[in-house]
């Protein structure tokens, strides 16, 4: 007899699947320049199949997480710290004092996906020390800026090293979050702007 899976368990299950498909895409992107001819075509087909699967999973995930939630800045900094510690990264978080009681309007599950992908990319392509996060207030938004030193294995000119950035931008767009990333003076910067409670207009999945 089938048993209905609790909604929170289904969300975590789909979240894990999304992480796995993202990891497979990273693996293929990293090896794109190692093959040519038929090998490159086969790689592209596999990538497309994984992308299609990821889209289907993401659609179901969005339906389960469409209900808006709130997150305090304290909870946000705690979660970011946990992700850095998970990868044994040395970091510091600088927070504007007047933000301690602020609340953000966003879907927590999707935001967690964004942070996990950002931290994973930092782990793959950055020096593991002296990572910095700045959290400031800008008008009706709160801005997070991740600053990290690019490792010697990273090439700013190699498009395959922009792994995950398109998926992060897609996640941000779903939440009306401003997301930007850029390289400067051998450092990589990632900026996320999130509306404070009361400003964000939600786009519910039909």
Average pLDDT over residues 13-24: 83
Cα 184 from chain centre: 21
> pLDDT tens, 108-166?
777 787 888 888 888 887 888 889 999 998 888 899 999 998 876 555 544 444 546 67
Confidence of residue 2 (pLDDT cuts 50, 70, 90): very low
CATH number given to 69-195? 3.30.565.10
Where are the strands (E) in the chain, listed by range?
69-72, 91-95, 103-106, 131-138, 141-149, 178-184, 187-195
Strands 187-195 and 178-184: antiparallel
Strands 103-106 and 131-138: unpaired
Quote the tokens at residue 65.
């997480």
Contact assessment for residue 122 and residue 90, using Cβ atoms and an 8 Å cutoff: no
Whose tokens are 């209905």? That residue is 4
Q: For the packed helices 38-64 and 7-30, what is the interaxial angle rounded to 10 degrees?
A: 160
For the chain, percent helix, then strand, then coil, each to nearest 5? Answer: 50, 25, 25
Confidence of residue 81 (pLDDT cuts 50, 70, 90): very high
pLDDT at 96 over 80: yes
If one compares 119 and 8, the residue with the highest pLDDT of the two is: 119
Average pLDDT over residues 60-79: 74
> pLDDT tens, 28-43?
888 877 877 777 888 8
If one compares 199 and 146, the residue with the highest pLDDT of the two is: 146
User: pTM (2 decimals)?
Assistant: 0.62
pLDDT at 199 over 70: no
| Domain spans of the chain, in order of start | 7-64, 69-195
Euclidean distance between CA atoms 175 and 201, whole angstroms: 9
């Amino acid at each position: 007899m089938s048993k209905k899976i609790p909604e929170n368990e289904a969300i975590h299950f789909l979240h894990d699947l999304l992480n796995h498909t993202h990891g497979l895409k990273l693996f293929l992107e990293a090896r794109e320049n190692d093959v040519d001819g038929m090998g490159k075509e086969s790689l592209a087909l596999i990538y497309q199949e994984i992308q299609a699967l990821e889209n289907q999973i993401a659609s179901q995930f969005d339906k389960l997480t469409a209900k808006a939630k709130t997150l305090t800045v304290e909870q946000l900094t705690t979660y970011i710290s946990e992700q850095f510690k998970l990868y044994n990264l040395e970091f510091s978080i600088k927070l504007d004092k007047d933000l301690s009681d602020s609340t953000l309007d966003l879907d927590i599950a999707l935001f967690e996906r964004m942070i996990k992908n950002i931290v994973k990319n930092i782990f793959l392509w950055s020096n593991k020390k002296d990572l910095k996060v700045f959290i400031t207030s800008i008008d009706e938004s709160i801005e997070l800026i991740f600053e990290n030193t690019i490792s010697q294995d990273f090439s700013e000119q190699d498009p395959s090293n922009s792994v995950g950035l398109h998926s992060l931008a897609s996640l941000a767009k779903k939440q009306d979050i401003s997301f930007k990333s850029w390289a400067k003076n051998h450092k990589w910067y990632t900026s996320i702007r999130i509306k404070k409670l009361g400003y964000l207009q939600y786009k519910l999945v039909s």
